[in-house]
């Protein structure tokens, strides 16, 4: 790769040449790749880029505010709260793949509405090298995408040739906050992959709080530097507990922390026991609906990193 500032200059020129005076749109998730692609494209075409952040109601605690704060001054930023639409469609659905499909479909529907409204002709994407290399080059470098209601957008992929560490370097050079650049990956379907069984607002609230506790404690311990991901899963297993003198019945939460290089395989490292105990204590005392916390010790394979 060129040095970061040369790369930025070239990428900005290329986007400008491609998009010209037309409108472009990008789905900004707050992850490193889409953030870097958004800022590069914003630098190139200014307000002709609309960066859309879709809130599906399955975000981490504080995520929407964090992304708004980081981008609303830097970009022509649109926050769309589509949580009612997503959660409505997910009602009663328990199959993990079905949940993913629904989330993907509703996402595109919401996104297409905005693209139509602004008259977008180009779709900027934060595709990086492993994304297309893993699909054996099946994603061509010049292509269009037809959205379900017929809108056709031309794809622009400014960081297509980069690997993750290079994207991070560019992000820092672009002035994105270091903690955003180094954050653990968070899946597109959000907490849906961490809630086993039906997704309800109550379960999202519990899962969100438990995830926040794991993140806070891991960051505080410094262990995040060596972990690929660290999170909590809300199972649909209800277990008996005792709170005060009374027997209680509540959820089983699983803590999962893994090391990995690329998420294809992952292993559970030896963890500091005080950290695990502290997280467990906080979850059961701060979330009344949870009666039991377990630690996942399974590697990938045979397990996957996420639970649902
Ligand atoms: P698994 O659970 O398959 O996860 O071992 C591997 C990596 O991918 C993330 N993940 C997803 N990311 N959409 C995403 O954008 C998804 O549906 C999805 N499922 C899993 C997971 O967090 C891990 O980093």
Is the pLDDT score of 199 beyond 90? yes
pLDDT tens for 109-119 read: 999 999 999 99
pLDDT at residue 21 greater than cutoff 70:
yes
Query: Which atom of ligand 1 is closest in space to residue 100's alpha carbon?
Result: 17
Q: What is the pLDDT of residues 230-243, one digit of tens each?
A: 999 999 999 999 98
Per DSSP, the chain holds a count of helices (H) and strands (E) of: 10, 9
Atom of ligand 1 nearest to the CA of 229: 24
Distance (Å, whole) CA 99 – CA 219: 30
What mean pLDDT, rounded, does the chain reach? 96
Q: Which of 126, 132, 125, 123 is nearest to 152 (CA)?
A: 123
Q: Which atom from ligand 1 is nearest to the alpha carbon of 300?
A: 5
What does the pLDDT read at residue 262?
A: 87
pLDDT of 135 > 80? The answer is no
Neighbouring C-beta atoms of residue 62, cutoff 10 Å: 12
Q: Determine contact, residues 59/158, Cβ cutoff 8 Å.
A: no
* C-alpha 71 – ligand 1 centre gap (Å): 25
Identify which of 59, 193, 258 to mutate to test ligand 1's pocket (most ligand atoms within 8 A of the CB).
193
Confidence of residue 185 (pLDDT cuts 50, 70, 90): very high
Does 138 have pLDDT greater than 70? no
More confident site: 135 or 83: 83
Among 125, 259, 263, say which to mutate for ligand 1: greatest number of ligand atoms within 8 Å of CB. Answer: 263
Please give the pLDDT value at position 141: 67
139 compared with 188, residue with greater pLDDT = 188
Tell me if 193 CB under 6 Å of ligand 1. yes
In this predicted structure, the answer to whether residue 140 has a pLDDT above a threshold of 70 is no
Mean per-residue pLDDT for 272-285?
Answer: 98
**Residue 205 Cβ contacting ligand 1 at under 6 Å:** no
The answer on pLDDT for 303 being more than 80 is: yes
Closest residue CA from atom 11 of ligand 1: 187
Centre of ligand 1 from the C-alpha of residue 187, in Å:
5
The CB of 188 under 6 Å from ligand 1? The reply is yes
CB atoms within 10 A of CB 205: 15
The pLDDT value recorded for residue 244 is: 84
pLDDT in tens, 69-98: 999 999 999 999 999 999 999 999 999 999
Cα–Cα dist 176/168, whole Å: 9
The alpha helices in 31-145, defined as continuous H runs, are: 32-45, 63-71, 83-90, 96-118, 129-133
Query: Which comes out higher in pLDDT, residue 262 or 31?
Result: 31
Gap from CA of 291 to ligand 1 centroid (Å) = 27
Higher-confidence residue of 48 and 143: namely: 48
Whether residue 306 has its Cβ less than 6 Å from ligand 1: yes
């Amino acid at each position: 790769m060129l040095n970061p500032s040369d790369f930025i200059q070239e990428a900005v020129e290329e986007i400008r040449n491609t998009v010209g005076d037309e409108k472009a749109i990008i789905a900004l998730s707050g992850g490193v790749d889409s953030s870097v692609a958004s800022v590069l494209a914003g630098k190139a075409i200014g307000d002709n880029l609309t960066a859309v952040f879709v809130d599906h109601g399955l975000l981490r605690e504080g995520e929407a505010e964090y992304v708004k704060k980081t981008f609303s001054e830097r970009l022509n930023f649109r926050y769309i709260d589509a949580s009612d639409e997503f959660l409505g469609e997910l009602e009663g659905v328990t199959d993990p793949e079905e949940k993913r499909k629904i989330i993907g479909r509703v996402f595109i529907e919401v996104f297409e509405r905005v693209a139509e409204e602004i008259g977008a002709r180009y779709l900027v994407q934060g595709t990086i090298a492993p994304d297309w290399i893993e699909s054996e080059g099946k994603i061509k470098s010049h292509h269009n995408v037809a959205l379900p209601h017929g809108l056709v957008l031309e794809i622009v992929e400014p960081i297509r040739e980069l690997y993750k560490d290079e994207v991070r370097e560019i992000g820092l050079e672009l002035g994105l906050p270091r903690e955003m650049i180094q954050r653990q990956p968070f899946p597109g379907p959000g907490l849906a992959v961490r809630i086993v069984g039906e997704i309800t607002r109550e379960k999202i609230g519990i899962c969100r709080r438990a995830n926040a506790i794991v993140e806070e404690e891991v960051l505080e311990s410094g262990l995040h530097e060596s972990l690929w991901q660290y999170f909590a899963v809300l199972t649909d297993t209800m277990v008996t507990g005792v709170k005060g003198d009374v027997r209680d019945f509540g959820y089983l939460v699983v803590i999962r922390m893994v090391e990995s290089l690329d998420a294809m395989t992952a292993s559970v490292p030896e963890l500091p026991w005080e950290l695990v105990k502290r997280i467990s204590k906080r979850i059961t005392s701060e979330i009344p609906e949870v009666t039991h916390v377990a630690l996942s010790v399974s590697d990938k394979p045979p397990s996957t990193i996420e639970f649902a």
